[in-house]
Structure 1
Amino acid sequence: MSARTRVTSVEAVHESGSYLFAVRDSYGDDGEVVVVPCEDGVAAFRNFCVHEPDQRLAREGVGAVVRDGEMICPRHGSTFDTCSGDCDSGKAEGMTLADVDVVVEDGQVYLVDEELTYLYEGPVQGDDDDDDMPSSTSHINL
Structure 2
Amino acid sequence: MPADSTFLFTVETDDGEDEAVLTRAEDGVEGYVNRCMHFTHIRIDKGSGAPVRNGELVCANHGAMFEQDTGVCTFGPCEGAQLDRIDIDVRDGGVYLVDDDYAFVRTGGIESDPADLGSTSNVEF
Q: Give CA deviations for 1:46-94 in whole Å, capped at 9, x if unaligned.
A: 001011011100022x211111110001110000000100001100101
Structure 1, unmatched stretches of 5+, are: 1-11
Residues 128 and 104 of structure 1, relative CA distance in 2, 3 Å threshold: farther
Q: Which amino acid in 1 is paired with 2:25?
A: C
Q: Give CA deviations for 1:14-53 in whole Å, capped at 9, x if unaligned.
A: 3x6210000101x141000010110141111000101101
Identify the structure with the greater helix proportion: 1
RMSD across aligned positions (CA): 1.8
Corresponding residue for residue 63 of structure 1? 49
**In the aligned structure 1, how far is the partner of 2:87 from the partner of 2:104?**
12
Is 1:97 the counterpart of 2:83? The answer is yes
TM-score (normalised: structure 2): 0.90
**In the aligned structure 1, how far is the partner of 2:73 from the partner of 2:17?**
25
**In the aligned structure 1, how far is the partner of 2:103 from the partner of 2:115?**
23
Look up the SS of the partner of 1:104 in the other structure.
Answer: strand
**In the aligned structure 1, how far is the partner of 2:76 from the partner of 2:44?**
14
Corresponding residue for residue 120 of structure 1? 106
**In the aligned structure 1, how far is the partner of 2:82 from the partner of 2:116?**
25
Is 1:37 the counterpart of 2:24? The answer is yes
Q: Which amino acid in 2 is paired with 1:47?
A: N
Shift of 1:106: 2.1
Is the Cα contact below 8 Å between 1:13 and 1:35 reproduced in 2? no
Q: Which amino acid in 2 is paired with 1:24?
A: E
Is the Cα contact below 8 Å between 1:20 and 1:32 reproduced in 2? yes
The number of residue pairs the alignment matches comes to 124
Is the Cα contact below 8 Å between 1:13 and 1:42 reproduced in 2? no
Structure 2, unmatched stretches of 5+, are: none
Is 1:87 the counterpart of 2:73? The answer is yes
Corresponding residue for residue 11 of structure 2? 23
Higher relative contact order structure (alpha carbons within 8 Å, sequence separation ≥ 6): 1
Residues 92 and 109 of structure 1, relative CA distance in 2, 3 Å threshold: same
After TM superposition, which residue ranges in structure 1, 4 or more long, deviate above 3 angstroms?
Answer: 127-130
Percent identity of the aligned residues? 33
